[in-house]
Amino acid sequence: MTTPLPSPTRPIDKISHFEDFYRLFQEKPGIYKYLDKINEISSKGGNTLVFLYEDLLSFDPQIAEMLRNDPEALIEDAVDAFKNVLKLQSSHMKKQKYFIRISTKDEKSPLSVPIRGLRAKHIDQLVWFNGITIRSSVVRPKLTRAEFECNICGNHFSIPQLTSKVNWPRFCGSKKRCTAKAQSDFRLISKKSEFIDWQSIMIQEVPEDLPPGRIPRSVQAILTYDDLVDSVKPGDRVKVMGSFKSVLAQSINNNNSTLFKSYIEVNFIDPEDKSEEDIELTKEERKKIEELSKEPMIQKKIARSIAPTIYGREDLKMACALSLFAGTRKKLPGGGYKRGDIHILFVGDPGTGKSEILKSAVMKSPRGIYTSGKGSSAVGLTAAVIKDSDTGQMNLEAGAIVLANGGVAAIDEFDKMDSADRSAIHEGMEQQTVSIAKAGIVATLKSQTAIMAAANPYSGRFNEYKSFAENVRMPPSLLSRFDLIFKVVDKPNPASDAQMAEFILNNATINVEDKANNIEDSKDDVAPIDGDLLKKYIKYAKRSCRPILSEEAKDRIKSFYLELRGQYDSEDAIVSILARNLEGLIRLTEAYAKMALKDQASKEDVEEIIKLFNRYLKDTGYDKETGKFDIDMIITGQPRTAINKLERFLDKLKQIFEENNWQELDRKGIIQIIELDGEFDRTYIEKSIDELVNEGTLYEPKTGKVKFTQRER
């Protein structure tokens, strides 16, 4: 039912129009949507009614337009109408404040304005936008009505507080002809004054909507009253309905500046993480996605759609695809969660396409952030405490891996980061939280983020005569957190080089005449799946698909794990795989099944993942001396054979010193004695003694003499 428009000469009774809307709006024939809601609020003793703007627009376009242009006055009328209808439905109303919250589910709503598009014409209008919370202040009380007492005559009176500064009385309203005029003649009585909760947050554009090469814009938003404050935290993606306001900017040099500062007075805020109905897909798109998932070799097609202009690198692209889809996040029986996100690391020679693959993966992700190592600090990646220039309060600001919560964070030039900054993401990778305790703020933020990192070897290119750990020089505690690590080496090969050259040249000349103005289209010709469709496919899979392992898949993973663990049964056995790697195998298998929207992961899925995992072991844990996989090369930086050899050498050294009552001994004499045994060559002995001196196990009291430190005996 639509309310008839009144004549131009007669003023509109806005309250009665809102009452009609609440009572008469039908979602479907016979279903009175808001009347039912008000009845429910009445029965539960609630005080807040949320309605959709598009419902009001369809019922009464004139009132909807008035609400858009003058939200402050119209919301008061809407609240009065809400209370009037509530009185009719309930004989007894609680003495409390009542609220109207306005929302919308229409992506093309007339209220929709991006943060970047907020202009002077929108001042004092109702606006709707989405963004990401990057900073939040503490909740503080704000004075709305001040109760004053006159110090001269004792008169009590109240004054509404409508601005950011306290409005002190200029005279006493007593009938006793009181002479009080100065501010010192009055006392503020906080107990009888009225306060509301107040919180300031900073909302930034979401990275995916950011135009290329632009700096993200942000806007301050003010949350008031108990139902809005503390409803979001840094890193949360939000949809906001509010009034765009402006206040005079307080300039240090000139108080009469014509420049104003803008902010959003929030009416309704909706954290996206709260609703699972976050997938905006049409029936046609859902049908297309379901059909796509049933195609043969769909996983390979998805992988080839990442960085289609990069020749080869199939394993790297598949690793990125697995990270984009992620495994299944599981709740543990004792509390807490087991992560489902997949962390990957590419270490390789320059010019091998690592960065391009990472950037393409971030572009395909529904939620992703790309950053470079040298331009990233520990607080930039995790969280920072920043002093507010207006209030002087310390506020919490989220970093990259918190902002990318629920998606991926790509860190290029990972090797260029300072070691202290790299260590800051340890907790975010495994526990998937970021804890901070600074400047009196103690907080834990969610960072359910998959890390994709790319790095160069320490010397620029891989040295084949050194181990992976010596080439990379990253702490084992960090390397062990990655589910897949791939070595990318640029080796000349006439056949593959010719194919790569032909591929690059063909891409450079695809329909140059037709598509000179649209480079993106030429990329889509190479990719098996369109970029926008793939982004929706990933979003749909992550929200609706949670595959589990079939019995056959479990048996195959178990046999693979036991096969690697049981290869060597001697006392100094080489460890080829850890329990942490087993968990990684499960995550990878679940992600591979999710790529085909399957409810169960099959044995064939496990076989494909084992191929990738074997390459990971070969690239990082292959010991050339023994020709076997050795996980200690990642965990400790040395193969088990080298660790055992050093332990035998140390035992021999201790035996020699014990026979000489732990006195200082001649270095050359020690080398000759050990060399005579024949187990160790002279070069190894000299190198090992130098290492023991450097780490403090031995020291040199005199030139050419060595002695054990007291604690190492």
Range from 52-56, 328-332, 563-567 carrying the lowest mean pLDDT: 563-567
14-103: CATH class: alpha beta
pLDDT in tens, 146-167: 989 888 888 888 888 887 788 8
The share of the chain scoring above pLDDT 90, in percent, equals 11
pLDDT at 288 over 50: yes
pLDDT of residue 516 exceeding 60, the answer is: no
- Choice among 193-202, 254-263, 325-334, 556-565 with the minimum mean pLDDT: 254-263
pLDDT of residue 525: 47
Q: What pLDDT score was predicted for residue 275?
A: 41
Alpha-carbon span 346 to 486, nearest angstrom: 5
What does the block give as tokens for 331?
């709740």
What pairs with residue 248 in β-bridges? 260
User: What is the pLDDT at residue 462?
Assistant: 82
Check if the beta carbon of residue 23 is closer than 8 Å to that of residue 82: no
Class of domain 283-544: alpha beta
For 16-22, what is the mean pLDDT?
Answer: 89
Average pLDDT on 78-89 reads 87
Instruction: Give residue for tokens 């971030």.
Output: 362
Tell which wins on pLDDT, 359 or 499.
359
Question: pLDDT confidence of 31, banded at 50, 70, 90?
Answer: confident
Q: Which amino acid is at 622?
A: Y
The share of the chain scoring above pLDDT 70, in percent, equals: 88
Q: Under a CB-based contact definition with an 8 Å cutoff, are residues 432 and 445 in contact? A: no
Which tens digits make up the pLDDT trace of 215-233?
A: 888 899 999 988 888 888 8
Contact 541, 325 (CB under 8 A): yes
Q: Are 243 and 125 in contact (CB under 8 A)?
A: yes
pLDDT at 334 over 60: yes
The answer as to CATH 3.40.630.40 being correct for domain 640-712 is: no
Say how far apart CA 450 and CA 463 lie, in whole Å.
29
Task: Spell out the alpha helix ranges (H) of 119-266.
Answer: none
pLDDT in tens, 594-646: 999 888 888 999 999 998 988 888 888 766 666 667 776 666 666 667 777 77
What confidence category does residue 514 fall into, taking pLDDT thresholds of 50, 70 and 90? very low
Whose CA is closest to 560, among 588, 596, 591?
588
405-419 pLDDT per residue, tens: 888 989 888 888 887
Residue 673 has pLDDT above 70, yes or no: yes
Alpha helices in 30-147 (DSSP H): 33-44, 53-59, 61-69, 71-89
Side chain identity at 335, as an amino acid letter?
G
Coil/strand/helix, residue 243: strand
As a whole number, the mean pLDDT across the chain is 81
- Tell me the CATH number for domain 121-274: 2.40.50.140
* Domain map (residue ranges) of the chain: 14-103, 121-274, 283-544, 548-610+620-626, 640-712
CATH of 548-610+620-626, one of 1.10.8, 3.30.70, 3.30.450, 1.10.3430: 1.10.8
- For residue 241, pLDDT over 90 is answered with yes
Give me the pLDDT at residue 265, please. 92
CA 542 to chain CA mean position, Å: 15
Write the pLDDT tens digit of every residue in 361-401: 888 888 888 888 777 777 778 887 877 766 667 777 788 88
Note the pLDDT of residue 266: 92
User: At 574, is the pLDDT very low, low, confident or very high (cuts 50, 70, 90)?
Assistant: low
Encode 420-431: b = buried (16+ Cβ within 10 Å), e = exposed.
ebbebbeebbee
- What angle, 0 to 180 degrees and rounded to 10, lies between the N-to-C axes of helices 519-526 and 531-544? 60
> How does pLDDT run across 92-115, given as a tens digit for each residue?
777 788 899 999 988 888 899 999
Q: What mean pLDDT comes out for the span 544-568? A: 85
Q: Which residues of 115-135 are buried (b: 16+ CB within 10 A; e: fewer)?
A: beebeeeeeebbbbbbbbbbb
Q: How far is CA 119 from the centre of its chain?
A: 29
338 pLDDT higher than 80: yes
Spatial CB neighbours of 676, under 8 Å, sequence gap ≥ 6: none
Q: Flag the least confident range among 28-32, 87-91, 133-137, 553-557.
A: 87-91
290 pLDDT above the threshold of 70: yes
Sign of CA dihedral 547, 551, 552, 554: positive
CA-nearest of 272, 432, 277, 404 to 340 is 432
